[in-house]
């Protein structure tokens, strides 16, 4: 059966993605729900940072020509760019125009949702100037304002394992070992993901992660993460009742719980003792979760071959 990998990640961050802004005011990207605003980190921004770190850490496609070109005002991949030569093309999909004007598309194998804050915004604003530069040049300072939001965020990544390293448009299918290597690199990056923004580096490393390899492609835990904050203890709790309800679902005579595992940063959550109710395989460190997930990916591809 076709296999899908899905994992939902919770991390801590501040002011992760700005929009166009008005005048000297930089506004965060935000959405509204239930009369409140929530900031978010766009799918495109996460994709950018994943690709950036794949290049920095693993030097993917480093010895290759730029696979993109601007053809008649449309930026797309060159016709000769293929999944064998370019890992980016394999993982994140493409649109390219073949000879004769035929457009070829391949949807992304690694699909990413926006990271949406789990806590509402309260219009925190930073006012600042470039006073140091102004003083050094005997000039008037230029004021600016940044909108800020410090919150927990959650996003979901889903990988079509049966489509990695396989492209019917170009009649290419790669070896299982190459597929394992590429998915493993993605998982390694998700484990230590970060973002450079406004002169600072934000840590997007998971504080909590849940998922697995399933016989059905479905982001089971997308939009199912709920948290509460205890002001006295200054710590968060995760709603385990919602997640336990999801893992209790049976599909094709198999419980979701049987294929699910979770990892967390020990000491961050108030109700860590409740995590074992969600699934049986619980890791009190994030690294072990990703090691087990990579092992399951390896077993899937080599059982196929």
Q: Which tens digit of pLDDT belongs to each residue from 130-139?
A: 889 988 999 9
Q: Where is pLDDT greater, at 51 or 101?
A: 51
Mean pLDDT computed over 65-92: 92
Mean pLDDT computed over 9-14: 98
- Domain-embedded: residue 293: yes
- Domain-embedded: residue 24: yes
Cα torsion 254, 7, 114, 107: sign? negative
Count the domains in the chain: 1
- Domain-embedded: residue 30: yes
- Domain-embedded: residue 68: no
- Domain-embedded: residue 222: yes
CA-CA distances (angstroms) from residue 173 to 35, 163, 238, 295, 305?
49, 9, 41, 22, 12
Beta strands in 42-129 (DSSP E): 68-71, 74-77, 94-97, 103-106, 110-112, 115-117, 124-129
- Domain-embedded: residue 253: yes
Mean pLDDT computed over 119-134: 90
- Domain-embedded: residue 76: no
* 3-class secondary-structure state, position 142: coil
Average pLDDT score, the chain: 94
% the chain with pLDDT above 70 = 98
pTM: 0.93
The boundaries of the domain holding residue 212 are 4-60+116-304
Count of CB atoms within 10 A of residue 180's CB? 20
Checking if the pLDDT of 202 tops 70, the result is: yes
213/230 Cα distance (integer angstroms): 33
132 — phi, psi (to 5°)? -60, -45
72/74 Cα distance (integer angstroms): 6
Checking if the pLDDT of 101 tops 90, the result is: no
Checking if the pLDDT of 305 tops 80, the result is: no
């Amino acid at each position: 059966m076709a296999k899908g990998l899905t994992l939902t990640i919770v991390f801590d961050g501040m002011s992760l993605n700005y929009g166009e802004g008005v005048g000297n005011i930089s506004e965060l990207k935000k959405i509204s729900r239930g009369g409140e605003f929530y900031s978010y980190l766009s799918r495109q921004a996460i994709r950018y940072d994943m690709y950036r770190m794949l290049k920095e850490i693993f030097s993917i496609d480093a010895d290759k020509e730029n696979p993109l070109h601007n053809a008649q005002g449309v930026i797309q991949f060159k016709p000769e760019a293929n999944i064998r030569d370019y890992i980016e093309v394999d993982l994140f999909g493409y649109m390219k125009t073949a000879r004769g004007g035929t457009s070829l598309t391949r949807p992304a194998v690694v699909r990413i949702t926006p990271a949406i804050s789990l806590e509402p915004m309260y219009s925190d604003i930073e006012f600042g100037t470039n006073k140091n530069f102004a003083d050094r040049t005997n000039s008037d300072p230029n004021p600016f304002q940044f909108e800020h939001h410090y919150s927990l965020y959650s996003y979901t990544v889903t990988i079509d394992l049966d489509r990695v390293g396989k492209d019917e448009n170009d009649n290419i299918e790669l070896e299982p070992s190459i597929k394992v290597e590429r998915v493993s690199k993605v998982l390694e990056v998700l484990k230590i993901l970060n973002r450079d923004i406004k002169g600072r580096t934000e840590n997007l490393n998971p504080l909590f992660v849940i998922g697995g390899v399933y016989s059905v492609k479905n982001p089971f835990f997308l939009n199912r993460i709920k948290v509460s904050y205890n002001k006295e203890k200054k710590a968060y709790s995760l709603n385990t009742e919602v997640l336990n309800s999801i893992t209790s679902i049976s599909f094709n005579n198999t419980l979701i719980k049987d294929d699910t595992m979770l990892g967390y940063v020990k000491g961050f959550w108030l109700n860590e003792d409740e995590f074992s109710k969600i699934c049986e395989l619980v890791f009190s460190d994030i690294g072990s979760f990703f090691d087990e997930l990579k092992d399951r990916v390896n077993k899937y591809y080599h059982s196929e071959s």
